[in-house]
Structure 1
Amino acid sequence: MGERVPARVLLRALAPDFVGSVPVDTSPLAGDGPIGWPGYGGAHARAVERSGESESVVCGTGTVAGVPVTLVAFEFGFLGGSIGHRTGMRVGAALAQARERGTPVVSLVATGGSRTQEGMAALSQLHRVATEMGRTRLAGVPQLAVALDPTTGGGWATLASGADVTLAAPGAQIGFAGSRVRPPGDEAAYTAEGQFAAGHVDAVVPAPDLPAVVARWVRLLTGPAVGPVPPPAALGAAAPPGTGWEAVSAARAPGRPRAGAYLDAYFDWREDIRGDRVGGVDDGVACGFGWRGGRSVAYAAQLGTPTTPTGFRTAARLVRLADRLGIPVLTLVDTVGAANDGAAERAGAGGAIGALFAAIAEARVPVTTLVVGEGGSGGALAFASSENTWMAPDSYFSVTSPEAAAAILKRDPSEVPATADQLWLRPQDVVGLGLARGIVRPAG
C-alpha cells in the first residue's frame, strides 16, 4: 500500500476547478459525540488537526470533461474515512444539490465503514445516503463511483456499489466485511480484482488513468444521442442468401464479422459495464456506452455464444440504466439461443430472459436492433426491438435452429437443410413477415 493521497488532491486531479460548494456544519464536535463515547471528542479534534478537514468527507462542485459535476471524496486520514452522522448529512446534502442542479455525481470512496464511536447515530446515516441516492436515480441524474483502498462496510453498500457505474483502484480492499471482522481465507474475494471478476465492479483503473477514464464516463452518461440511432452498416456479405440453409451456413461461417467488429466500426470509442450485480459475468455479452458523432449510445451485444441468465440480466441492467438517463440503445443479436443446461435453469433462465423482454418493452428511449449472425429462438428475440429490428445479409432469425426443429418433428438429420428452408429464417423472409424493417447494406 502506497502513501495515501489526500481527498482534495484527488478531487483536483479530476476537476482542477473544484470548490467546496456544499453547505456543511464545521462547528467543533459537542463533547464526546451523540452517544458520549469516552475520549471521542479528543480523537475527533486530533483528526481535524491532522487532516485539515472538519469531517471524513469533502463535497463540492467542479468541471469534468467540460461538464459541471458534483464531487464527493472521503478523507481516509480522518478517522479512517469512517461514516459518522455529519458524514451522512454532508453526502446527503451533496446529492440533493446534484439533483437541484442536474449535475452528475462522482464519488471517490475510501472508508472503513460506519463510525463505532457514534453507534446507531452513525449507522443510521446509511438510510440517509441510500434515500438520497434513490431520489437521485429517480431524477435521472447519473452517479459514478470510484472504490479506493479500502472501501468497506456501508460505504461499499451504498455510494460505491449502488452507483450506476463503479470503478475501482487496483489492489484495493473492497467488500462489505472489513478486514478485522470477516472470517479468514478467500482474501481475493475482498479485492478490486475479485469484485471485478464477480461482476460487482465495471473496471479496475490504475491511478494515472483515472482522470481520463472518469472524464470519458462523464461524457458518456451526460451526452445522449437523439434516437432512434441508425443500425450499423453490413460488414460481411453484401447480398442475402438464396436458401434457408445458405443463410444458416453464412451466419455460422468462422470468418463472418462478429458483434465486436460491428461495435468497433460503429463507435469512435466505448466503455463497458460488467456483470449483473448479483455475482455473475457472461463474457459472451458485451454491454456499455459508446461515443458516436459526438453523442452517447448504449449497447448490448451477443458475441455468438449461448447467452446465460447472467448475460440477460446484464443486458437488462444496461437497458434500464440507459432508459433512466435518456440514452438510446443499440442491440446486436448473435446467438444460437439461450443457455439451456441445468446450471442455467438453476440460475433462473426464464426469469432473466423475461426481465430483458420487460426492460426493452418498457424502455422510453428508442431501441435499435441489428441481427449480425445467428438469431436463435427466444434467447435472441429477448435482445431485439419489436419495432426497429434490422438484418445483416449474412444472418438469420428463427423460431429455433434447423437441427432442433428436425428433432422436434422427428425428422431424419438429412432433412435439416430442407427444414431450414421451411422455417422462413432468411433475412428477406424475416423482412417479408414484417418482423424486420430491412436488410442493411455495406457502408458507401
Structure 2
Amino acid sequence: MAKSSKYISFDAAGKLVSDEATAPEAPEAEGALKSAVSYALDAIAEAAGSLPDTAAALIGAKAPGTPEDPEEAVLHVARHVRSTIGDDFAVSPEMRAAKPRALVIASAKNARAFVVPMEAAGLDVVFATVDNRSLDGFARRTLPTYNLGLTTPQVSADLLMGNIYTVLSAAKACGASLIFLDSATAPLAEDRYFLRHAAKRGLRVFAPAFEGTMRMGWVELLTAEGDGACSVPSEAPWEEGAAPTVDDDEGPTHWRRCHKCKLFFDKQEMIDEGHRCPACGTLQRLRSDERIAATVDAGSFEEWNAQMPDSNPLDFPGYPEKIADQRERSGLEEAVCTGRATIAGLPVAIGVMESGFFMGSMGHVVGEKVAALIDRAIEERLPVVVFCASGGARMQEGLISLMQMAKVSCAVERLSQAKLPFITVLTDPTTGGVTASFAMQGDIVLAEPNALIGFAGQRVIRDTIKQELPEGFQTAEFALEHGLIDAIVERSQMRSVLAQLLALHAPADDPTRIVTYHSVMDALSVGAGAYGSVDVAPEAREENERLGAEEEAGFLRNLAEAVPVVGEFIGKPEEGEEADAADRRELERHARREARKSGISGEVEAGSAWESVQIARNVHRPTARRYIEGIVEGFIELHGDRAFADDGAILAGLGWISGHPVTVIAQEKGVNLTDRVARNFGCPQPEGYRKSLRLMREAQKFGRPILCLVDTQGAFCGTEAEERGQGNAIADNLVFMAGLTVPVVSVLLGEGGSGGALALAVGNRVAMQEHAVYSVLSPEGFASILWKDRSRAPEAAQAMKMDAASVLACGVIDAVLSEGEGPAHENPDEAVAAVRDYVREAYKELADLSPEELVRQRQERFAQF
C-alpha cells in the first residue's frame, strides 16, 4: 500500500462515520492491511448513489445543457455518455442513471469473482480490457468492457492497465465515478500521482482490504495530507501534436507524452524520475528552456539572435504555413536556441537544438544561428557548447539546407584557429547532416545514455541495402564502443562534467583568474554567483602549486559525486576491488600457466635483471589506474579514435595535477583477469595509439602538459592489428611527440616493451620505477631470435641491460624512482607518492621553457643516442 494513502469508512447509508484515528480496526487476518478500516460494497454503492449530482460531477463529461433538477441531470448525463461511447454496454440509460458506474481494473482470474457481488450491491460494472484479451472468453461475452488500447512492442498489457492517463481517460469515457483495483499492491494503488489526479476529478478509488478476498471489505485509497495537486508551470505544447482527453483545461501543465512508448504521464512524475519515462525508462527529450535551466547558472542566460528572417529557397508549397504552424504548436521560434551563459561561473556560448520543432531539422535559419553563435564566441573569446538534436537536413529547403553543413563547419574551423574549445553533447536523436558536420567536430564529444546517433536512418539502411541491423545499433553506447564519441554522461551529471571540462580548457594565459578542480566543485556546490576571479599574487601561485602535497590524504575528495561518466569514469575502485581474493587467485593461476608455457625454470637470482622482469610482471603490481587515482584530481576519461573503436589498453583523459590541467595517457593492463582480457593485457591496438595521438593534438591546441604512464610488454601483434596499420599508428605517435610544443613527462611503471612503449615515451623527462624494465623486445623474444631458445630469457634480460639501474647508466632515462621498502605491490601508496612527486617536480622544471625550447630540448635528448 502506498505510504501516501490513508483509509476512511462509511456506514451502510454512505455517511462518514469516523476517520482513521477513531475507526474500528479491521479483523486480524492473513494478508490484512494493518490499521485499515473497511466497508462493504453496498455501502460504497449507496454512498455514491445518494449524491444526486454524482454522475454529472464525477463523470467529468460536463454534458452541455445539463438541467438544474438533479434527477433530470443524471438522466441527461447518462444520455450524453451513451451518445459519446455508443452501445458498448448491455445496460439501459435508466439503469446507468440509477446506478453508480464502477470501472474495474482486474486480472482475468478476478473478473468473475468481482461481477456478482458488485452488481448485487447496485453498481454498474465496466471491466477494463487490453486488446480485448484481458478477460477470459466467458467474461468478454457476458460483461460490459472498455478497451484501454492496443499493446505494442514497447507497451505491454500491464503497462496500459497501470498507466494513470489511460485509466483516467477510460473512467471519463465510460462515465465511471468509482474505480476498483483487484489488489492493494497493484501499481496504481501505490501511485500517489494516480490517487492525486483521481481525487482532483472526484473519482473514488478502492482496493480489497485483504488480499485474495472481497468478503472482508474494501478500503478507499486517498492521497495523504499535503499531497494535493501540484502545478508545474509550463508553456510546453503537447508533443507530436497530441491533444489531451482528460481535463483539457489542464493541458500540457500536467501531462507529457513519452516519445518512445507513446503513453502519457504526469509531468511532475517524469521530472521526479529524472526525465525518464516511468513505464519504459526512456530518457525524455528536453526543450531548450528546460535544458538551459538544468545546465547553466540561474539567471545567467542571455539569448542571441532570437529571431532571424525565414527562408524558402525552393518556394516549396505550404512551407511558410508549416513554419507558422510549428511556431504556434511548439511555442518555439526555430529548431535551435543560442546565447551566452555561465556554468559554475565559467562563461560559455551555448546552443540548444529543439527536437520539438521540425524534429530539429537543419535549415538556413538553424545553420545561420549556430554559425553566428560561434563567430560571436570568437569575438568575445568564449568556449562553445552545443546540445545537438536533429533529424537531419530540412527537406523543404533542398540544397540550401545541405550547405548549412559546410557553413557551420567553416565556423568550427575558425573557432579552432582561435584556440577556443568546442564541446558537443549528442542527445536523442542526432542524425543526418548534423551528425555529419558540427555534432562530431567537437574537441570533446559527449552523449546522453541511449541517444540515437547516426548518419543514415535505420529505415533508409534497411530499404537501401536490405541489411539487418545489430542490437543496439546507432545508440550512444554503440558509438562509444566504436570509438566515435568521448564519453556517455548521465543527465544529472552533465552540468558538473561541463563545468570541469570548461575549467580544464580555460585560457592558461589569463592572469586574472586561477581555476582549479576544487574552485569549480565549490562553485557547483553552492550555486550560481559563488565563482569569482582570484588575483594571482606570487604567494597565491605558490600556494596553488603546493595544493596536492598539502592535501594528499584527501586528493580525490568528492570525485564520485563530481564527474561520474556512465561506466567510464575513473575514480577509486570499490572497496577491496583490487584485493579481492578470487581475482588474485585467478590472476596468479594465469601467471603460472604463462610461466609454464615459457619453459623457463630455476631460481631467480636476487638483484638480477630477470628478477626485475618478474617483479614488473607481478599480477599484484599496481597498474596505471592506481597511479592516476593518486596523482590526478577530477580525472575524466575520454574514449575512442573517432574512426574505428575504443582500445581499453590505452586509458586517457583530462584532470588536474597540483591545480594545473593536464592530459593523461596511460597503458592499462587491468586490475583483474576479466579486466585484463578486456584491455588486452595492456597491449595496445592501432586504435589505442590513434586515441593517444588525438588527445596529444588536443593538448597541444590548448597548451596543456601531457603525462604518459608506460606499462606494456609491447604493441599487440596480430593479423587485425597489421590490417589496421599498427606500424603506421606507432610511427604517427613518434613523429607528433617529437614536435609537441607542450611539456611531456613519461614514467615507466612496469614493463616497457619495444616500440609499443616508446610510442608514449618521447618525453622531455623520462623516468622508470625501481623495478620497471625497458627493452627493445621481451627477453623471451630476444632469446628466441638470437639463440633460438626461449628458456634463455633470464640470460637475455641481463644481456639487454633492461633493469632500471642499467637503463639509467645508458642515459636513456633521467631518473629511477624508489618504490619504497619493497616492490610497488607491497607498498603501493609509497610507490604512487614517489611518481607523483617526480611528475610535479618535472613540470615545475619545464614550466619556464618556451614551446620552441621544449621541442629543441626533447629532440636533442633523443639525438644523442
TM-score (norm 1): 0.92
Give the equivalent residue in structure 2 for 1:302: 667
* Match of residue 287 from structure 2: 6
- CA–CA distance in 2 between the matches of 1:397 and 1:168? 39
Indicate the residue corresponding to 2:356 in structure 1.
77
1:351-382 Cα distance to aligned partner (Å, 9 max, x none)? 11111112212211111100001000011001
Q: Distance in 2 between matches of 1:21 and 1:98?
A: 13
Whether the 8 Å CA contact 1:148–1:169 is kept in 2: the answer is yes
1:366/1:133 Cα in 2 relative to 1: closer, same or farther (>3 Å)? same
Whichever residue aligns with residue 195 of structure 1, its letter is A
Aligned equivalent of 1:371:
748
1:182-235 CA-to-partner distances (Å, cap 9, x unmatched) read 325335221111111111122222222222222222222326699xx99x99xx
Q: Is 1:98 aligned with 2:377?
A: yes
1:323 matched to which residue of 2?
700
The residue aligned with 1:37 is 316
Does the 8 Å contact 2:308/2:365 carry over to 1? no
Structure 1, unpaired ranges of 5+: 234-240
Q: Which amino acid aligns with 2:504?
A: L
* 1:22 counterpart (304, 326, 338): 304
- Quote the residue 2:476 is aligned against: 192
CA–CA separation in structure 1 for the residues paired with 2:397 and 2:417:
31
Instruction: State whether structure 2 residue 606 is matched by structure 1 residue 244.
Output: no
What displacement does 1:93 show?
A: 0.9
Q: Residues 182 and 88 of structure 1: is their aligned pair in 2 closer, same or farther, counting only changes over 3 Å?
A: same
The change in CA–CA distance for 1:97 and 1:46 in structure 2 (over 3 A counts) is same
**Aligned partners of 2:349, 2:610: CA distance in 1, in Å?**
56
AA in 2 matched with 1:406 = A
Cα distance in 2 for residues equivalent to 1:286 and 1:223: 25
Aligned position for 1:150: 429
The verdict on how the C-alpha distance between 1:386 and 1:192 changes in structure 2, with shifts beyond 3 A counting, is closer
CA contact (8 A) 2:781 2:790 kept: no
- Report the alpha carbon displacement of residue 282 of structure 1 after superposing the two structures with TM: 0.9
CA distance in 2, matches of 1:386, 1:366: 8
Q: Does 1:405 align with 2:686?
A: no
Q: Distance in 1 between matches of 2:306 and 2:800?
A: 67
Q: Which moved more, 1:44-53 or 1:303-312?
A: 44-53
1:384 correspondence with 2:761: yes
Of 266, 276, 284, the residue aligned with 2:649 is 284
Please state how far the C-alpha of 1:402 moved relative to its aligned partner.
0.8
Q: Bigger CA drift: 1-10 or 73-82?
A: 1-10
What is the CA-CA distance between 1:119 and the residue it aligns to? 0.3
- Report which of the two structures shows the higher radius of gyration computed on alpha carbons: 2
1:360 aligns with 2:737: yes
Q: Could you tell me which amino acid in structure 1 is paired with residue 644 of structure 2?
A: G
1:267 equivalent to 2:549? Answer no
Q: Which stretch shows the higher mean deviation, 363-372 or 199-208?
A: 199-208
* 1:211 corresponding residue in structure 2: 495
* DSSP 3-state at the match of 2:646: coil
Shift in Å at residue 51 of structure 1? 2.9
Number of the residue aligned with 1:431: 808
- Residue 20 of structure 1: how far off its partner (Å): 3.8
Counterpart contact for 1:393–1:439, Cα < 8 Å: yes
**Number of matched residues?**
431
Which whole-Å CA distance do the structure 1 matches of 2:786 and 2:383 have between them? 55
Residues 225-244 of structure 1 mapped to structure 2, 5 A cutoff: 242-244=607-609
The residue type paired with residue 295 of structure 1 is H
Query: What displacement does 1:254 show?
Result: 1.2
Contact 1:334/1:375 (8 A) holds in 2: yes
Residue in 2 that maps onto 1:171: 450
User: How far apart, CA to CA, are the structure 2 residues paired with 1:81 and 1:20?
Assistant: 21
| C-alpha contact 1:22 1:97 (8 A) present in aligned 2 | no
CA gap of 1:440–1:17, structure 2 versus 1, over 3 A, is farther
Whole-Å separation in 2 of the counterparts to 1:107 and 1:325: 19
The separation in 1 between residues aligned to 2:428 and 2:422, in whole angstroms, is 20
Specify the code of the residue in structure 2 equivalent to 1:201. Answer: I
Q: Deviations over 1:313-340 (max 9, x none)?
A: 1110111111111111000000000111
Structure 1 range deviating more: 353-362 or 334-343: 353-362
CA distance in 2, matches of 1:412, 1:187: 48
**Mean alpha-carbon deviation: is it higher for 299-308 or for 119-128?**
299-308
CA shift, 1:42, in A, is 0.4
Greater RCO structure (CA 8 Å; 6+ sep): 1
2:402: which partner in 1? 123
| Aligned partners of 2:712 and 2:752 also within 8 Å | yes
User: Which residue identity lines up with residue 262 of structure 1 in the other structure?
Assistant: Y
SS in 2 for 1:120: helix
What CA distance in whole angstroms lies between the structure 2 residues aligned with 1:262 and 1:25?
51
| Root-mean-square deviation over aligned CA pairs | 2.2
Distance, in Å, in 2 between the alignment partners of 1:65 and 1:120 is 41
Q: Report the Cα distance in structure 1 between the residues aligned to 2:396 and 2:458, rounded to whole angstroms.
A: 18
Q: Find the counterpart in structure 2 of residue 221 from structure 1.
A: 505
Q: Are the structure 2 counterparts of residues 307 and 185 from structure 1 closer, same or farther at C-alpha, using a change threshold of 3 Å?
A: closer
Preserved CA contact (<8 Å) 2:406 2:437: no
Contact 2:303–2:337 (Cα < 8 Å) also in 1: no
SS of alignment partner, residue 711 of structure 2: strand
Query: Which range moved further: 217-226 or 433-442?
Result: 217-226
Give, in angstroms, the shift of residue 411 of structure 1.
4.5
**Does structure 1 conserve the Cα–Cα contact (< 8 Å) formed by 2:743 and 2:764?**
no
Which residue pairs with 2:105 in the alignment?
A: none
2:760 partner amino acid: F
Q: Which residue of 2 aligns with 1:237?
A: none
Cα distance in 2 between the residues matched to 1:357 and 1:108: 35
In structure 2, the residue corresponding to 1:372 is in which secondary structure? strand
SS of structure 2 residue aligned to 1:124: helix
Range 37-46 or range 9-18, more displaced: 9-18
- Residue 126 of structure 2: aligned partner: none
Report the alpha carbon displacement of residue 256 of structure 1 after superposing the two structures with TM: 1.1
Change (3 A) 1:346 1:179: closer
**Residue identity in the other structure for 2:703:** G
Go from structure 1 to structure 2 and tell me whether the alpha carbon gap of 1:210 and 1:387 turns closer, same or farther (over 3 Å shift).
closer
1:253-293 CA distances to partner (integer Å, 9 max, x unpaired)? Answer: 11111111111110122101111111211111101001233
Deviates more, 1:343-352 or 1:195-204: 195-204
Counterpart for residue 721 of structure 2: 344
- Asked if the contact 2:362/2:390 (under 8 Å) is kept, the reply is yes
SS of alignment partner, residue 189 of structure 1: coil
Query: What is the Cα deviation at residue 136 of structure 1?
Result: 1.3
How far did 1:11 drift? Answer: 1.6
Shift in Å, 1:145: 1.0
Note the C-alpha offset of 1:135.
1.7
1:187–1:415 distance in 2 versus 1, CA, 3 Å? closer
Give secondary structure in 1 for the equivalent of 2:304: coil
Kept in 1, the 8 Å contact 2:390–2:434? The answer is yes
CA distance in 2, matches of 1:411, 1:244: 20
- For residue 390 of structure 1, report the CA deviation from its aligned partner: 0.8
Does structure 1 residue 138 correspond to structure 2 residue 515? no
Is contact 1:65–1:219 with CA below 8 Å preserved after alignment?
A: no
Contact 1:307 1:339 (C-alpha < 8 Å) held by counterparts: yes
CA distance in 2: counterparts of 1:429 and 1:384, whole angstroms: 17
* 11-20 or 322-331: bigger deviation: 11-20
1:12 maps to a residue whose letter is A
